Chain A
Amino acid sequence: MDTEKPAVMAEVFSILKDIPQDRSQLLVALWLVFEHYQRFRPEIVDAVSQYMNIPYAEVYGVTSFYALFHNPDGKNPLHVCTDVMCALQGADDLVKKLQALTQRSTVCVKECPCLGQCDAAPAAFFGKQVLRRATPDLIAQAIRGEDHA
């Protein structure tokens, strides 16, 4: 960890090099960093804090506020909506199937509230892709596509 820390610092600084050191750019900065690491480990939060010149506790406070940034194991999150309208269309069953399929993979299944796709329930969200009328097949396809991208 001690040898990793300066490396993370340099990497985060290079990811953020075009971002102005301005508090109102924090969420923008956090998105860039999250898309690279898929999680916020303490040394990553520390590097963002140093680059943006915002206290660690403040940066941590913001990262911990947003659900999409909560991803402690750093696997690629597959968000499956299990809210009311998707639950009516078998979302709970879909989650079980996906959990079985993604065991020991780089993907982790997360249940989430309404994705704004209730007209094509059940819905899921992976990377930058929205999956409507989601089935295990459709999702597997999307995951493979995203990996090659």
Chain B
Amino acid sequence: MREVRRLLPPLDIISAPTSMQRLKDRGFSRAMERVLGMDPRDIIAEVKASGIKGRGGAAFPTGFKWESVYEAPGGNRYVVMNADESELGTFKDRALLEYDPLGPLVGMLIAAHAVGAKKAYCYIRGEYRPIERQMVNALQTLADCGWVGPHAVEVEVRRGAGAYIAGEETALLNSIEGKRAEPRVKPPFPTSKGLWGDPTLIQNVETLANVTLLFAHDVEWFRQCGSPQTPGTKLVSLSGHVKNPGVYEVPFGFPMADIIADPELGGGITGSGRLRAILLGGAAGTFLSPDQISATVLDYGSLGTFDASIGSGAIMVFDDSVDLSWVLRKLAHFFADESCGQCVPCRIGTRRIVEMLAQGGLYSRVQDLRDLAQAMRDASICGLGQTAPTALLSILDRPNWQGA
């Protein structure tokens, strides 16, 4: 099996990524024109039928989210493209926005048309300045087509300023509103009360790129790839001890081991040449041992048997020279630094984990760590606090695993 390029443009494409010609070459103008002739309810039905799930981490069914925003009472409606991408080991949105920015942007316009939004925001992390420029150029092309602007959908690019938490959807809303990027208590969800209390649709860059592909083709085409439960392809960000680190596109259901080893993909383990583990999904991801990697495919059901998930699609590869408890200490520091401090279990919990790991090593206080993790999961406001101990627990749950 090899890479499937649907979200990523063909390697031999010659049109410039932000050009009018690219819109045609990739079928994006066809997608936009088809949607402009459709009733919003039919657009939403098609997204639902495609089975597209969110690619930002939570895998929420996209069509259902659109329906919630469409049906929510309220005057103004907004669409937000989440390009804050700050998850450890994750760079697929950057690649997508660099190689083919018109795909996700057209997806955002399709979403605006479906939910009745006249205004959209592209929120991009402040460290992606070259990509921001690319995005602005692509928006100019869309304005030249008459699809962006005061008589269509107005789009504002918002630059973040270095806060991991700002990628959390409600924190992102506060950031756009000019406030501290602190998460809000949910419910209410942004679909009913988002920007300035109005219904707001927030989607990841890659999710929106999938939407454009869907409308450039149809549901049947879209579902030809991937698994029945999770149709389509996934971009993975492969880094660490592999021969060819980078972004790859594979269908859901693709063998995990092949992503790392296939000569056309990861190309095998470098460093010592012996695989110790991967960290899948980001800083709040799950470690998988070589046995588990061999036994799983890239899909939610398969990975769920090991309590793992795809998360952002980050696959960080570690050879057997890497001390996994060192990785855990780095992750713990990261969460302690990035906690917004709003709620106690997360603010204190993330610091306690740092201290416990520094004091006695991983296995000296297993029960304390588990209790703390439980409290953080139960009582934190947002995903950061709830999932900060996930990677740690994935190691504690395998006491016989050499390496940590």
Contacts and interface: CB of A to CB of B under 8 A. Distances in A.
Q: Do chains A and B stick together as partners?
A: yes
Interface of A: 22-28, 30-31, 34, 54, 61-62, 65-69, 79, 83-85, 87-88, 112-121, 125, 127-130
Query: Closest 6 interchain pairs by CB?
Result: A26-B178, A67-B162, A66-B161, A68-B162, A118-B239, A119-B245
Nearest to A31: B159
Nearest to A30: B161
Contacts of A115: 127
6 contacts: A66-B163, A68-B127, A68-B162, A83-B88, A85-B88, A130-B128
Nearest to A66: B161
A112 B162 contact: yes
B33 to A, nearest CB: 32
Name the interface size band of chain B: 35 or more
A87 B340 CA distance: 24
Contact of A68 (B87, B91, B126, B331): B126
A116 B127 contact: yes
A22 B178 CA distance: 9
A27 B161 contact: yes
A25 B160 CA distance: 12
Contacts of B334: 83, 113
A79 B127 contact: yes
Contacts of A113: 86, 88, 164, 334, 337-338
Given A27-B175, A85-B239, A130-B129, A118 B89 contact: yes
Contact of A116 (B86, B240, B318, B340): B86
Contacts of A114: 86-90
Contacts of A83: 88, 330, 334
B178 A27 contact: yes
A112 B337 CA distance: 10
Contacts of B322: 88
A127 B127 CA distance: 9
Given A85-B89, A85-B316, A67 B161 contact: yes
Contacts of B161: 27, 30-31, 34, 66-69
B293 interface: no
A97 to B, nearest CB: 21
Among A88, A117, A121, A125, find the residue whose CB has the most chain B CB atoms closer than 10 A: A88
Nearest to B88: A114
B125 interface: yes
A27 B156 CA distance: 12
A98 to B, nearest CB: 17
A24 B177 contact: yes
B247 interface: yes
A69 B181 CA distance: 14
Nearest to B331: A84
Nearest to A63: B161
B24 interface: no
B107 to A, nearest CB: 20
Interface string B146-184: 000000000000111111100000000001111111100
Contacts of A118: 88-89, 91, 237, 239-240, 245, 316
A61 B335 CA distance: 21
A67, A116, A117, A121 pick with most chain B CB within 10 angstroms: A116
B137 to A, nearest CB: 15
Contacts of B162: 66-69, 112
Interface string B293-335: 0000000000000000000000010100010000100110010
A117 B127 CA distance: 10
